[in-house]
């Protein structure tokens, strides 16, 4: 080893970040001590170990896609993030670079790069996002409570009117219909709040941002004071890979910041969603935007505006936000963090006393560049024709008595046998005694002693083909994807109308 190689080896060995070299199949051939610290393996264990050991199927697809791109193009990848599984099974978030190793004959022989443990930083970002969500919900609380009180007033009023005209079935039915409409409004409002407040995850999937923006505007219109006028220009229907909850948070943060800038004197808040094609790279407010197709989200206010120093401070996640006097200021740093995760670009146009416009450019890739017409937007499912079922037996498990009574009566009226249980323990005991005596299990998620997911897991161990519907008001412990992977047939969120539940039951029982 010549002096230059010795010096380079010394530098690599002293790095706090992990350094790795793998062959073309992903087996480790060289690494530094920091790589052992990150993965939890000894040097002897790591030598020759395949990088598949560090990832689950979801992350493997992402990692191998990057490695394949580097191999085929010859161009290195400076950084991408993924969840690395350590030897003890714990997970850490890492940023990793990937470059080709070229052999003496000029052909690729493997890959090398740097791995940086970002777990602590990612956790801080998540805490910042959650903290900002709580502040934002506080800002919206007055408007939300006002809307809820209006809804409840309608429910109480129409229910009492229905009782006074039972001798006039047509009139009573009209009042009851009004109660159902108000209840649906309440359910939608709860769902919007939960969408905004639910925990951060890694849930990127093809997303039509247009639908998220519409829902957010709907929530804001019912929450912000009347002296804030809202306008929108929602032209783009593009889909991009994105996490719905995080995109919802970005839109909400920008709109609440705009409200803060106008809450003393009022003004106009404008949200737009446009397609934009950038033929060549350009600089916008000091940020470079590469050539390509973009979905551009803009939020504009007519408030007090900001100077460059203020903008820089608000984009700094470590800044002392209390000094600004506006709690929602954290939202801009959070939005910047989320936009970075989605490989977008956030730019701010603002001057003191001239308002502010925040623009976000989300890159549109591959087939998603094709324009999507209104006709391609999701169409609400048409109600299925409800027919009499066979004499199937349903086990209904829920700790709320009113829910058990309502759905028992409705399902019996449609020809089902219904067995009711108020907790998971008694339901499991009955199932163990006669596992073949039930055709379908409907269970709540949140129950004392034995939760719905644990109950489902135990039932599936006894009878793997049992059909289970898990319903849930809200839970951070389980998602639809997790439920399906467990073997649960359907995951639905409360509230669900008896008729909608009946349609789900028909589909689940009809599956082969």
CATH assignment of the domain containing 357: 3.30.565.10
Same domain flag for 65 and 89: yes
Q: Give, rounded to a whole angstrom, the gap between the first and last alpha carbons of the chain.
A: 66
Same domain flag for 346 and 422: no
Boundary of a domain, candidates 317, 345, 376: 376
Q: How many domains does the chain have?
A: 3
Residues 6+ apart with CB under 8 A from 429: none
Residue with tokens 């010549």: 2
| Three-state DSSP class for residue 479 | coil
Is residue 318 one of the residues assigned to a domain?
Answer: yes
Give the Cα separation of 45 and 150 in Å (integer): 64
Nearest to 421 by CA among 454, 460, 447: 447
CA angle 276, 282, 287 (to 5 degrees): 100
Is residue 174 one of the residues assigned to a domain?
Answer: no
Is residue 167 one of the residues assigned to a domain?
Answer: no
* CATH code assigned at 99: 3.30.450.20
Output the pLDDT for position 295: 93
Is residue 66 one of the residues assigned to a domain?
Answer: yes
Same domain flag for 239 and 269: yes
Give the Cα separation of 314 and 306 in Å (integer): 10
Residues 6+ apart with CB under 8 A from 97: 76, 77, 78, 79, 113, 114
Same domain flag for 460 and 348: no
Boundary of a domain, candidates 329, 348, 376: 376
Output the pLDDT for position 418: 94
* CATH code assigned at 495: 3.40.50.2300
Is residue 189 one of the residues assigned to a domain?
Answer: no
Same domain flag for 245 and 322: yes
| Alpha carbon separation from 137 to 152, 193, 309, 326, 367 (Å, rounded) | 20, 8, 28, 14, 37
Same domain flag for 338 and 429: no
Tell me the torsion sign for CA atoms 8, 13, 15, 20. Answer: positive
Same domain flag for 330 and 344: yes
Same domain flag for 368 and 411: no
Same domain flag for 102 and 87: yes
pTM of the model: 0.49
Same domain flag for 399 and 370: no
- By residue range, what is the domain housing residue 427? 393-510
Residues 6+ apart with CB under 8 A from 192: 215, 216, 218, 219
- Token digits for 173? 């039915």
Residue ranges, the chain, pLDDT below 70: 1-7, 125-147, 149-150, 191-204, 286, 316-331, 365-390, 473-477, 512
Is residue 153 one of the residues assigned to a domain?
Answer: no
Output the pLDDT for position 389: 45
Nearest to 297 by CA among 279, 281, 274: 274
Asked whether the beta carbons of 483 and 506 are under 8 A apart, the reply is no
Write out the E strands in 282-427: 282-284, 287-289, 292-301, 345-350, 356-363, 393-397, 417-421
Residue 104 phi, psi (nearest 5): -60, -25
Burial class (CB in 10 A: 0-12, 13-18, 19+), 174: middle
For residue 495, is the peptide bond before it cis, meaning its omega torsion is within 30 degrees of 0?
yes
Output the pLDDT for position 382: 41
Boundary of a domain, candidates 117, 145, 174: 117
Plot region of 366 (φ>0 → left; ψ -120 to 50 → alpha; else → beta): left
Give the Cα separation of 297 and 286 in Å (integer): 18
Is residue 71 one of the residues assigned to a domain?
Answer: yes
Write out the E strands in 5-130: 18-23, 28-31, 77-85, 91-102, 108-117
Asked whether the beta carbons of 38 and 18 are under 8 A apart, the reply is yes
Same domain flag for 277 and 399: no
Asked whether the beta carbons of 265 and 305 are under 8 A apart, the reply is no
Same domain flag for 90 and 209: no
């Amino acid at each position: 080893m010549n002096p230059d190689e010795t010096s380079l080896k010394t530098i690599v060995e002293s790095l706090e970040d992990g350094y790795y070299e793998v062959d073309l199949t992903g087996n480790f051939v060289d690494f530094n001590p920091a790589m052992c610290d990150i993965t939890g393996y000894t040097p002897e264990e790591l030598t020759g170990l395949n990088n598949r050991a560090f990832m689950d199927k979801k992350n493997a697809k992402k990692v191998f896609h990057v490695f394949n791109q580097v191999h085929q193009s010859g161009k290195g990848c400076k950084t991408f993030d993924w969840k690395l599984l350590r030897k003890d099974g714990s997970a850490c978030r890492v940023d990793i670079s990937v470059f080709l190793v070229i052999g003496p004959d000029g052909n690729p022989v493997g890959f090398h790069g740097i791995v940086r443990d970002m777990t602590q930083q990612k956790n801080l970002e998540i805490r910042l996002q959650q903290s900002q969500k709580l502040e934002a919900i506080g800002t919206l609380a007055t408007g939300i409570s006002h809307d809820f009180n209006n809804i409840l007033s309608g429910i109480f009023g129409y229910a009492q009117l229905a009782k006074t005209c039972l001798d006039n079935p047509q009139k009573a039915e009209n009042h009851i219909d009004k109660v159902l409409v108000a209840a649906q409004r309440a359910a939608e409002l709860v769902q919007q709040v939960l969408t905004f407040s639910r925990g951060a995850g890694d849930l990127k999937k093809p997303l039509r941002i247009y639908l998220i923006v519409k829902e957010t505007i709907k929530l804001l219109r019912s929450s912000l004071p009347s002296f804030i006028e809202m306008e929108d220009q929602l032209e783009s229907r593009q889909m991009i890979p994105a996490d719905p909850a995080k995109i919802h948070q970005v839109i909400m943060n920008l709109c609440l910041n705009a409200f803060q800038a106008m809450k003393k004197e009022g003004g106009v808040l404008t949200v737009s969603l446009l397609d934009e094609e950038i033929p060549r790279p350009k600089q916008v407010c000091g940020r470079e935007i590469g050539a390509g197709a973009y979905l551009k989200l803009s939020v504009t206010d007519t408030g007090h505006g900001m100077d460059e120093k203020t903008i820089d401070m608000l984009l700094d996640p470590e800044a002392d936000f209390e000094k600004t006097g506006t709690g929602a200021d954290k939202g801009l740093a959070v939005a910047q963090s989320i936009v970075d995760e989605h490989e977008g670009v956030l730019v701010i146009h603002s001057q003191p006393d001239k308002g502010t416009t925040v623009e976000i450019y989300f890159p549109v890739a591959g087939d998603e560049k094709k324009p999507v017409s209104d006709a391609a937007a999701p169409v609400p499912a048409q109600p299925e024709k409800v027919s009499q079922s066979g004499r199937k037996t349903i086990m209904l498990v829920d700790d709320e008595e009113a829910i058990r009574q309502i759905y028992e009566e409705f399902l019996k009226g449609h020809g089902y046998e219904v067995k009711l249980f108020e907790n998971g323990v008694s339901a499991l005991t009955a199932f163990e005694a006669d596992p073949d005596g039930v055709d379908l299990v409907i269970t709540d998620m949140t129950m004392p002693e034995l939760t719905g997911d644990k109950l489902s897991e135990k039932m599936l161990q006894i009878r793997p083909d049992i059909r289970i519907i898990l319903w849930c008001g809200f839970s951070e412990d389980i998602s639809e994807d997790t439920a399906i992977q467990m073997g649960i047939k359907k995951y639905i969120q409360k509230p669900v109308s008896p008729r909608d539940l009946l349609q789900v039951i028909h589909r689940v029982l009809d599956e082969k």
